[in-house]
Chain A
Amino acid sequence: MSILEVKGIKKSFGSTEVLKGIDFSLEKGEVIAIIGSSGSGKTTLLRCLNFLEFADEGTISVSGELLYDGAAEKVAKKKLKNNDKLLRKKRLHFGLVFQNFNLFPHKTVMANLLLAPSLQLKSDLRAAKRAEKQMDRALKKASTEEEKAEIKKLFAEKIKRDYKDAEELRAKAEETLRRVGLIDKRNNYPCQLSGGQQQRVAIARALVMNPDILCFDEPTSALDPELTGEVLKVIRELKDSDTTMIVVTHEMEFARDVADKVIYMADGVIEEAGTPEEVFLHPKSEKAKAFLTSRSNAAKGTDDLD
C-alpha cells in the first residue's frame, strides 16, 4: 500500500483554476521531486496536502486512510477547515519546510524545535491521564479476562503519543539537531544564523514532529548559491535514512540524483512523470522538453530564466 495516494486534486482561486486534477502516489521511503516553471501550481499542491488550502475536488489518503475528500468536504456540515482538532491531527501526517523558513525569531534554535511538540506532549499527557481513569473504571466493571484485554487494547490506542516524556522529546530534538549539524547552535537565535543554517533548523523542526511525509517548497530558493549545498546535503541524508519526501525544487541536478520519481507540472497538470531518467533524458511532452532545455541552458549560464 502506498504511503500517500493523491487522486484528482483540483483547486481554484476565484475563477482561476490552479490545479486541474493531480494524481500521484508515493511509497514509503521514496522521494518525489516536483519541477515546473513558476506559477504552475507546485506550492498550491503542497499547501493542499498540508491543509493550508482545501482542495475543491479530489482525495488524499495516507497509509490507506482517507484523510481528505473534496466531494465530502463540499457537503459536510462541519467543514474540516473549521474543525481545529481534527485538522491538526490530519496535518501532523505531513511536515512542510517553507521557502523562507518561517522560524520563530523570538525563540532559540532548540526552542524552535521544542515549542510545538512540547505543547502537544502536555495535552497528550493530560488526555492520557483522563483515558487511564476511564480505563480503570471500565476494567472494574469487566468480568472476564477477555473483556479486560479488549478494554486495554481499546485504550492503548488513546494513550499512544509521540513521546513518552519531556526527556525523550529533548533527546530527540538534540539528536535531530546533530543530524542537521547544528547542535552547537542550539542556544542561538535564528537571526544569528545564515540562511542555510536557518533552513536546516526549519527542517529539524519539521522532523521532530515525526511526519509521515515531509514536504519541501523550494527549500533553497531563498538562499545564496553557496549555501544551497548544505541544505541539499541534509535532504540527501534524510533520503538515506528512508524519510518519505516531496521536494519542489529548481535544482535539476539534485532532482535527478536524489528523487525516485520526478513530476513535471505545467499549468496545473502533471505533464510528465516517471523516473528521473525517463523525465530528464526521454521526456515525451513538448512542454517538458522545452522546460528542461531552458533549465539546462540556465544552469550553463547562457540563459537567465527566473
Chain B
Amino acid sequence: MSFSEVTLQLLNGFGTTCLLFILTLVFAIPLGLIISFGSMTKFKPLRYLTRGFVWIIRGTPLMLQLFVVFYVPGMLFDTPIFATIENGRFVAALIAFVINYACYFSEIYRGGIESISKGQYEACAVLGMTKGQTFFHVVLPQVVKRIIPPMSNEIITLVKDTSLARVISVIDIVFAAETILSLRALMWPLFYAGAFYLVFNGLLTLLFGFVEKKMDYYKV
C-alpha cells in the first residue's frame, strides 16, 4: 500500500474526526452556558438536578457514555435506532460528546461567572441596566477572557477524545489506521495518524495563544 493510498484513507477518517470535533464545539459551547445557568439558578430543585447530572457525566468515562447513548435508546424502543439510520453511529457519538463536553464547559463557565465581583453587578444596577444587559455587556465579555485558558485545554483534549468514537464503530482516523494495520500489517500509518493530531493540536495551540493575546487589551 503506497503512501498516497494510506494518506487518502487516513484523510477520510480525519474528515470524520474534524466534523465530530467541530460539531461538538458548535453545540456544546452554547449548551454548556445553559447548563451553567441551571447549576447556578436560585430555584433549588433545578440547581440540584443540574449539578447531579453534571456530577454523573463528569464522574463516569466518556467511553461508557458512548455505549449508553448508542445502545440504550435501542433497548427502550426495541429497535437499534442508531445502528439502522444513515450516519446513526456518528450521530450517537456526537450526542454523547456534546453532552459530555457541555457539562465540562458548564463548570468552566460557572467558575468564570462566579469570579465576577458583586461590585460589577451593583455598578450596572445603579446605572439602571437590566439583568440581560448586565450579563451580555458586562459579565460575559469578562468571563470570556477568564475562561480562555481552561477552555483551550478542554478543547485540545476534545481533539484527542474524538478517537473514542470508534468504540461504536465511527470510522475516524484512528479506526482507519487500525484497519490498515490489521489488513495489511502496516505499522507506520498509526504513527502517521498521530502526526495528524499533533499538527492539528499545534495549530489550535497557536490559535488560542493568538486569541489570548488579543484579549490582553485590558488587565483586571
Contacts and interface: CB of A to CB of B under 8 A. Distances in A.
A52 B126 contact: yes
A105 B218 contact: yes
Contacts of A91: 125-126, 128
A92 interface: yes
B218 A191 contact: yes
A73 to B, nearest CB: 17
A255 B96 CA distance: 64
B217 interface: yes
Interface string A185-206: 0000111000000000000011
Contacts of B133: 116, 119
A163 to B, nearest CB: 13
Interface in A80-134: 84, 88-89, 91-92, 94-96, 98, 100, 102-106, 115-117, 119-120
A92 B124 CA distance: 11
A52 B129 contact: no
A50 B122 CA distance: 10
A256 B138 CA distance: 38
Nearest to B120: A102
A18 interface: no
Given A91-B128, A190-B218, A191-B220, A104 B138 contact: yes
B118 to A, nearest CB: 9
Contacts of B138: 104, 106, 115
B135 to A, nearest CB: 12
A116 B218 contact: no
Given A105-B220, A191-B219, A116 B145 contact: no
Contacts of A98: 119, 122-123
A209 interface: yes
Q: Is the interface of B mostly helix, strand, loop or mixed?
A: helix
B218 A106 contact: yes
Given A102-B120, A105-B142, A96 B219 contact: no
A117 B124 CA distance: 11
B142 A106 contact: yes
Q: How large is the interface on A (under 10, 10 to 19, 20 to 34, 35 or more residues)?
A: 20 to 34
A94 B218 contact: no
B52 interface: no
Nearest to A209: B127
B199 to A, nearest CB: 34
A231 B60 CA distance: 56
Nearest to B142: A106
Contacts of A50: 125-126
Contacts of A105: 142, 218-220
A117 B126 CA distance: 12
A115 B137 contact: yes
- Chain B interface category by residue count: 20 to 34
Contacts of A89: 128
B58 interface: no
Interface centre among B126, B128, B141 (most CB of A within 10 A): B126
A261 to B, nearest CB: 23
Nearest to A205: B127
A88 B219 CA distance: 30
B137 A119 contact: yes
A100 B137 CA distance: 20
A175 B128 CA distance: 21
B130 interface: yes
Nearest to B141: A106
Interface in A154-188: none
Given A105-B220, A119-B137, A94 B129 contact: no
B131 interface: yes
Interface string B139-174: 001100100000000000000000000000000000
Nearest to A111: B137
Interface of B: 117, 119-120, 122-131, 133, 137-138, 141-142, 145, 217-220
Given A116-B124, A209-B127, 11 more contacts: A88-B128, A88-B130, A91-B126, A96-B126, A102-B119, A102-B120, A104-B120, A106-B145, A116-B133, A189-B217, A206-B126
The 10 closest A-B pairs by CB, nearest first: A116-B127, A102-B123, A102-B119, A189-B218, A96-B126, A191-B219, A88-B128, A92-B128, A106-B141, A50-B126
23 contacts: A50-B125, A52-B122, A52-B125, A84-B130, A84-B131, A89-B128, A91-B126, A92-B128, A98-B123, A100-B119, A102-B117, A102-B119, A104-B120, A104-B138, A105-B218, A105-B219, A106-B138, A106-B145, A115-B129, A115-B137, A115-B138, A116-B128, A206-B126
